[in-house]
Amino acid sequence: MKPLILIVDDEPEIRDLLAEFLNLQGYRTSVVANSIEAEAAVGREAPALIMCDLQLEDADGLIVIERLKKMVPATPILLLTGVYFEPHVVREVLSKTVAAYLYKTTPLQEILATVQRLISARSA
Amino acid sequence: MARPISFFNRLSVRLAGVILLLGFLAVPLVSELKRRAVERLVLQQAELQAATATIAVVDNLKDVLRSAETTVGFLARDLEDRPLAPREVDGILRNAVMSNRSLSDCTIDFEPFAFAPTVEHYGRYARRTGGGLTFKDLANPVYQYWKRPWYAETIGRGGLGWSEPFFDQGGANAAVARVAAPFYRTVDGHRVLAGVVAAGFDLSGVKALARTYDFFDSGYVIIFSNEGRLIAHPDPTFGINDTMESLAQKFDQPQLAAIHQRVLGRRQGELSYFSSTLHRAVHENYKPTEIAGWGVVVGYAESEFLREVSDVRWITIAAMAATLGLLALIVWFATRQRLRPLGELTDVSDEIGRGNLDCVILPPRRDDEVGRLSQSFIVMRDVLKNNRALELQVREQAASLAIANAKLTGEVLERRWVNQALEHQLRYAQLIIDSISDAVIVLTKALHMSRINPAVVHLTGFEATGLVNEPLSRLVRPEGDEGRMADPLGQALKEGRDVRDLPAVMWDRTGRAISVRLTLFPLRDRDKVVGGVAILRPA
């Protein structure tokens, strides 16, 4: 069965575009807009990867990530955000929280490479 | 690997089999019909020959019997009104016996005193013995001819007649039939009985006559008397003591009695039956002789003729079977030869069905249905090859298109992603600017306003659209620097310097002057100043 990727983003254009791209690459996707939907989706089926925005409508992304990690500890989480962080923030905070961090300006092919790497590492 | 028997091989074999089957059904039928027809013809022919033979036997027998009758009749006439001496009687007897070899003896017997007025009984008898004759007096006290039944019967009959066959014990010592006739004298103008002339007819001659008719291998002649006594019979154990009736009864063969009765009725005819006496199926023709009341039967075994027919029949069957076999072989071979191209086409269709379009199809050998079929197969194979090539081409093009489409889709997606990222960044940047409560004006390098935040609108009452692309000097100027505002700010931008808390005057929509402090930051793209950001705070 194709790996399932859960996309959590409150911007429909972004999550739909990501889903369309990842579907074309052979993944199954599940898109949700907030933390409640994200937890429900994870409860239904543990995804191979979670792509989560930092700024959600109903909650801070990092808090949502912490909750999701408790639910599916083995699932890598890719933080995808438009907020620019200082390098030391990334180094000291985000690297301990998420498996990878990417800006939303990152080209799709690079995002795909990161997705493939994370899913392969999880499978291994 | 052995090639399985093809449909066409099976067809040719079945066709040949059907021919053989029909042949083997038809051959016995035809053979049987033919056999019956031939049998009928052969039997008709045999019957015809038997009928002819019957006539011949009867005619010959009649000649012999008639000669005996003639002799006796001549004697009877010769004795009429003729006085005889004893010596003359013996001479007549001698002449009679010696002149007719069918006669074994002869006698002349007179009525009382008819021979001579002084002689009451006179009877002379001559019998053939070896090469001569033996004479005997029948008026002797022992024999006394006038007391013999035959004498009385002849007189009683009043004319020439035949006795039943009998064995003449003490006389001819042979089986004979007596032919006898009375003779007369004229006395006083009246015809008066004078005596009896009788002759013994030797039946051995009749038997010999019957034996001479060997017209068929199985042919035989039966001669029987008026009472049905057997004078001649193929079985020598049957003789005059046997009759047609006794044989019919003994062997449960009513046909024999029937033949006798029909002959008595002076009828002739034929019939077929299984003879118990001869142990075979026989066909018999019968005919009365019209002399002595005798009858003649000429018979033969039908099997004698049917055997040849049967032989011919088996030869015919064998010949027809051989012909049929040969015909079936020819049909099988011809059909196989004719249908071989179809078998090859079947193989070709299998090959094509398996996807081998490079299979070899032999060119048509004949311009017939099979030839046209071969040609159609060639055309079909070529069309399929072309179609396959086209299909491959289309597939390749479709694959190329799919790749191109995927690439394009990827590019489109990538572009959309970039656009949304830019949009997001812009929106994010706008959000930051708009969230600042101080008046923020984004400037071009030439100090034209490219963007203002809501605080500017709030402070001045101008709409953003009325200010964008307008020079900053229209909205704000450093204090005491009327009309030359641009220069210190422009100079700062050119040098890439910040300007902080510069006292300035800002005019709102109504023309009211508002004292503010102006801070200017140059906007750098990498090391190049591309514009600036001015922040106005009420003084």
Q: For B138-174, what is each residue's pLDDT tens digit?
A: 999 999 999 999 999 999 999 999 999 999 887 778 8
For residues A35-43, average pLDDT? 94
User: Is A85 touching B (CB cutoff 8 A)?
Assistant: no
For B456-509, write each residue's pLDDT tens digit.
Answer: 998 899 998 888 899 998 899 888 765 555 578 888 888 889 999 999 999 999
Total domains in chain A come to 1
Q: What is the pLDDT of residue B72?
A: 93
Q: What is the pLDDT of residue B215?
A: 72
User: Is A82 touching B (CB cutoff 8 A)?
Assistant: yes
Topology of B70-202 in CATH?
A: Beta-Lactamase (3.30.450)
For A105-121, write each residue's pLDDT tens digit.
Answer: 899 999 999 999 999 98
From the CA of A27, how many Å to the nearest CA of chain B? 15
What three-state secondary structure class fits B461? coil
Nearest beta carbon to residue B413 from set A82, A104, A108: A108
Topology of B436-538 in CATH?
A: Beta-Lactamase (3.30.450)
Over 70: is that where the pLDDT of B6 sits?
Answer: no
For B54-103, write each residue's pLDDT tens digit.
Answer: 998 999 999 999 999 999 999 999 888 778 888 899 999 999 999 888 89
Q: What is the pTM of this model?
A: 0.50
* Mean pLDDT across chain B: 86
CB pairs under 8 A between A and B: 39
Write out chain A residues lying below 8 Å of B424, CB-based. Answer: 11, 14, 82, 104-105
Tokens for B203?
A: 């039946």
Write out chain B residues lying below 8 Å of A29, CB-based. Answer: none
Name the more confident of B14 and B382. Answer: B382
Name the more confident of B430 and A70. Answer: A70
Are A39 and A6 in contact by the 8 Å Cβ rule? The answer is no
Over 90: is that where the pLDDT of B110 sits?
Answer: yes
Report the residue of chain B nearest A19, measured CA to CA. Answer: B413
Q: Give the integer Cα–Cα distance in Å for B183 and B76.
A: 5
Name the more confident of B295 and B28. Answer: B295
Over 90: is that where the pLDDT of B193 sits?
Answer: yes
User: Is A13 touching B (CB cutoff 8 A)?
Assistant: yes
For chain B, domain boundaries? 70-202, 355-435, 436-538
Read off the DSSP letter of residue B160.
-
Nearest beta carbon to residue B424 from set A20, A104, A109: A104
Handedness of CA B38, B40, B41, B47 (dihedral sign): positive
What three-state secondary structure class fits B235? coil
Name the more confident of B242 and B13. Answer: B242
Mutate to test the interface with B, among A53, A84, A102, A108 (most CBs of B within 10 A): A108
Cβ contact (<8 Å) for B413 and A24? yes
What is the identity of the amino acid at B474?
Answer: R
Q: Which domain holds residue A21?
A: 4-123
CATH number, domain containing residue A89: 3.40.50.2300
ipTM for the predicted complex comes to 0.89
For residues B356-361, average pLDDT? 82
Over 50: is that where the pLDDT of B2 sits?
Answer: no
From the CA of B481, how many Å to the nearest CA of chain A? 40
Report the residue of chain B nearest A21, measured CA to CA. Answer: B413
User: Is A14 touching B (CB cutoff 8 A)?
Assistant: yes
Cβ contact (<8 Å) for A21 and B417? yes
Q: How many helices (H) and strands (E) does chain B have?
A: 11, 18
Q: What value does the CA radius of gyration of chain B take, rounded to a whole number of Å?
A: 76
Write out chain A residues lying below 8 Å of B422, CB-based. Answer: 105
Tokens for B110?
A: 């007179």
User: Is B419 touching A (CB cutoff 8 A)?
Assistant: no
How far is CA B406 from each of CA A19, B119, B396, B398, B411, rounded to the nearest angstrom? 15, 167, 15, 12, 8
Place of tokens 């049929």: B324
Instruction: Please give the share of chain B, as a percent, with pLDDT higher than 70.
Output: 96
For B262-293, write each residue's pLDDT tens digit.
Answer: 999 999 999 999 888 778 888 899 999 988 89
